[in-house]
Structure 1
Amino acid sequence: MFDTDKRQLIRRFISLIMCLIMVVSVTACGRSEDMVQAEDDDGTIEIGFTFDSFIIERWERDRDVFVSRAHELGVEVNVQNANGDVDTQISQIEYFIEKKVNAIVIVAVDCEALSGVIAKAHRAGIKVISYDRLISDANTDLYISFDNNEVGALMAESIVSQVGPEGNILEINGPLTDTNVPTVVEGFEKGLARTRINIMDVYHCNGWRPEYAFDYINRYLAEHPDEVPDAIMCGNDSIAGQTIKALSEHKLAGDVVVTGQDADVEACQRIVEGTQYMTVYKPVEKLAGRAADLVVELVTKGYVDINDTMSDGTYNVPYEKLDPIEVTAQNMDEVIIGTFHQRSEVYLNVDH
């Protein structure tokens, strides 16, 4: 009897010990998960940045400056390249939402196609920024860009200074899915309003692909051999480069006034060589650095202290606007050399 009671007591004691071990194990596992979670959630701000593509030279500079400034502020940046495909960009934004980043910065492929996924980001409590291109009907938390109306006005001013109050010109722009395009055109055409300059034709390069400008100019000159334009307004420097390439095949390079935008190094070379008259310089170091500062402010404060707004078609979005600068051969050294490009790059093909 005593042996039986003793055996039962031992079994109960062992069961009690096993239960205690299980409780300790479960608790330890729970604590381990909590510790891992605490280590992941260390308070570091993470920004997702999706670019349309890197076809346009300047975007690489925007990326590098933004990431560098963000790192100075202790912020991590996850950069994605949509390669000009809107579905890819939507997937990248959804990926950022799943990662629970603090903010998403977007150079939109198609400004009219992202409102749905941005609404999803907002529901997740993520701040969304329109970078350089205002996303339509999306109520993004910030739009930061240059004064694109002024970009067009500077192009018009340059053409009038060279062509005079009357003449015939062509317009070659990027796609209308980029909301900057109609804004630039508005400023350009307003700048021509008091002249008798005639816009003979308007062409849009899908996806900002410059090779389309080359084909268009060749086709236009073949079909209108007696209607050589006095000037061609090009929406950016890549388009200007292909336009000038086509003009050169018709022995017209340097005879037609060509404008551009972005101050790409090859455009600056063409300006000092005399085949492109001007470009619009947009100091991307200021834009990208300022954008990084404002994104961090948005995340930490929940808002930014900006008074200007711009309508995205439905909502008034806080708008940080920087000033563009006209660049010609006359002010190349003052504006560009040593700050944006080196002298040896710009004057590579000319004596100076």
Structure 2
Amino acid sequence: MSKKLRLSAVGAALALGLVACGGSGAGGGSGSSGNDSNPSDTTIGVAMPTQTSERWIADGNNVKKQLEDKGYKVDLQYANDDIPTQSQQIDQMITKGEKLLIVAAIDGTALSSQLQAAADAGIKVISYDRLIRDTPNVDFYVSFDNYKVGVAQATALLAGLGVTDKDGKATGTKGPFNIEVFAGSLDDNNAHFFFDGAMDTLKQYIDDGTLVIKSGQNQIEQVAILRWQQETAQKRMEDLLTQSYNDGTTVQGVLSPYDGLSRGIITALQNAGYGPTTSGGAKPMPIVTGQDAEIASVKLINDGVQSSTIFKDTRLLAEQAVTAAVAFLKGDEPEANDTKTYDNGQKVVPSFLLPVVTVYKDNIQKELIDSGYYTADEVAKGQSD
């Protein structure tokens, strides 16, 4: 992961811009003013959900290194997708007197008591990528525009099927195309934004018969995958093929919100005789979307197996989390670019949202290799050095 800790030119430029304009408002907000003047005496707690996804490993490492580069001490903890473990880790961070918390929650509704304790101790809390819900004690949120992630995934599915171009402009192709849809874990607030953005985009094509969800499963409660588990997605795809495609028809597109799920879905399809070409009797591989540009899936895209992924440059997300943290520790308020969208059930949380990029085979070089996120050798191998 060391190469991902190097800032790209665009990332560095964004970081400088954010530092220049963040937290400079008159009458700065409450916080541990003066801590930043001696960061070596300041420990920041960073709670990440799991190490089973390379994405979260990269996030944790990026945040840790960037904070340490500014002189802070960092207590980075992973909870292995276990809610009690994460709750205990955060309790311990508060007990040890850590000055600020950056939290990527496993379950966005399960940390109310911990965050109340943090508030009582005067500890600011930054919700990282997954919005923490049902508590007023979230001070800031850093993420990507998650509704637009869903729009981008649906657009990539439509473009892969030839229904629209990559910009979402209709081509006149009418289908019908058989598709199935997947969603993430219901306890992850982002999963709902992804699904809503995608289904809003697909709706007109479902309504006019261009797209057919043959299983009839089109509600998030029907299609959600708990904890974003690859094996669960594989099993659901196997069940869909057995139950809805046992009449000689084929599935032609799958909306998948995350690369790990995509790989499980692809495994089920390959086991059922689908492949990139029809040689050897294989059924054509459906258009399969994804998210997070995990290296194993980038290789599948490069090899023509998976169709696309959504690239969320976690180097930039880490930069923004660090920028917000420094502002709070100076006693200032970090700059938000969205103060309306992210209502967590108790308050609208000030947020900073970053843009996303759809990656297809033809722009892997530009978006992932030229930016320094991966090397060409890593893409070819499907494994990070």
User: Which amino acid in structure 2 is aligned with residue 64 of structure 1?
Assistant: N
SS of 2:362 mapped into structure 1: coil
1:277 corresponds, among 307, 319, 322, to 307
On the 8 A contact 2:127/2:142 being kept in 1, the answer is yes
Question: 1:70, 1:293 within 8 Å by CA — same for their partners in 2?
Answer: no
Aligned to 2:130: 133
Q: CA deviation digits over 1:101-150, x for unaligned, max 9?
A: 11111111110111222111111100111100001122311110111111
Larger Rg over CA atoms: 1
User: Residue 154 of structure 1 aligns to which amino acid in structure 2?
Assistant: A
Aligned-partner residue type, residue 257 of structure 2: G
Match of residue 369, structure 2, among 330, 337, 344: 337
TM-score normalised by length of structure 1: 0.84
1:20 is aligned to none
Does residue 173 of structure 1 match 2:163?
no
Distance 1:269 1:178 in 2: 27
| CA distance in structure 1 between the partners assigned to 2:355 and 2:160 by the alignment | 23
Distance 1:106 1:80 in 2: 10
How far residue 239 of structure 1 moved from its aligned partner, in angstroms, is 0.8
Report which structure shows greater RCO (CA 8 Å, sep ≥6). 2
Equivalent position of 1:220 in the other structure: 240
**TM-superposed deviation, 1:273:** 0.8
Q: Which TM-score applies when normalising by structure 2? A: 0.77
Partner in structure 2 of residue 185 of structure 1: 195
Instruction: After TM superposition, give the deviation of residue 162 of structure 1 in Å.
Output: 2.3
Q: Which residue of 2 aligns with 1:348?
A: 381
Deviation at 1:347, TM superposition (A): 2.4
Alignment RMSD (CA, Å): 1.7
Q: Distance in 1 between matches of 2:69 and 2:239?
A: 50
Structure-2 residue corresponding to 1:242 = 264
Distance in 2 (CA, whole Å) between partners of 1:69 and 1:183 is 28
- Hey, what does 1:3 align to over in structure 2? none
Cα distance between partner residues in 1 of 2:41 and 2:145: 33
Q: Hey, what does 1:198 align to over in structure 2?
A: 212
Counterpart residue identity of residue 145, structure 2: D
CA distance in 2, matches of 1:252, 1:42: 55
> What residue number does 2:320 align with?
290
Deviation at 1:348, TM superposition (A): 3.4
Q: Which moved more, 1:239-248 or 1:337-346?
A: 337-346
Residue 144 (structure 1) aligned to one of 131, 142, 145: 142
Q: Which amino acid is the alignment partner of residue 316 of structure 2? A: K
Matched to 2:237, the amino acid is I
Aligned to 1:29: none
1:29-44 aligned within 5 A = 44=41
Decide whether the 8 Å contact of 2:39 with 2:72 is kept in 1: no
Q: Separation in 2 of the partners of 1:316 and 1:44?
A: 32
Gaps of 5+ in 2: 1-37, 164-173, 277-284
> Could you say which residue in structure 1 is the equivalent of 2:19?
none
How far the C-alpha of 1:305 sits from its partner, in A, is: 2.4
Normalized per residue, the structure richer in strand is: 1
Q: Deviations over 1:185-230 (max 9, x none)?
A: 1110111122232334242221111111111111221222235322
Cα deviation for residue 87 of structure 1 reads 1.1
Question: Deviation string for 1:64-114 (max 9, x for gaps)?
Answer: 111111011111110111111111111111101101111111111110111
Report the counterpart of residue 227 of structure 2 in structure 1: 207
Count of residues in correspondence between the two structures: 309
Instruction: Return the offset for 1:260.
Output: 0.4
Aligned-pair CA distance for 1:54:
1.3
Q: Give the distance between the partners of 1:315 and 1:198, measured in 2 at CA.
A: 38
Equivalent residue letter for 2:241: L
SS at match of 1:88: helix
The answer to which of 221-230 and 67-76 deviates more is 221-230
Residues of 2 paired with 1:159 and 1:131: CA distance? Answer: 28
Residue aligning to 1:49: 46
* Secondary structure of the structure 1 residue equivalent to 2:84: helix
Q: Which moved more, 1:264-273 or 1:193-202?
A: 193-202
Structure 1: runs of 5 or more not aligned? 1-40
State the secondary structure of the residue aligned to 1:50: strand
* Alpha-carbon distance in structure 1 between the residues aligned to 2:203 and 2:255: 15
Q: Deviations over 1:318-352 (max 9, x none)?
A: 10100010000111111111421110121238xxx
Q: CA deviation at 1:42?
A: 8.2
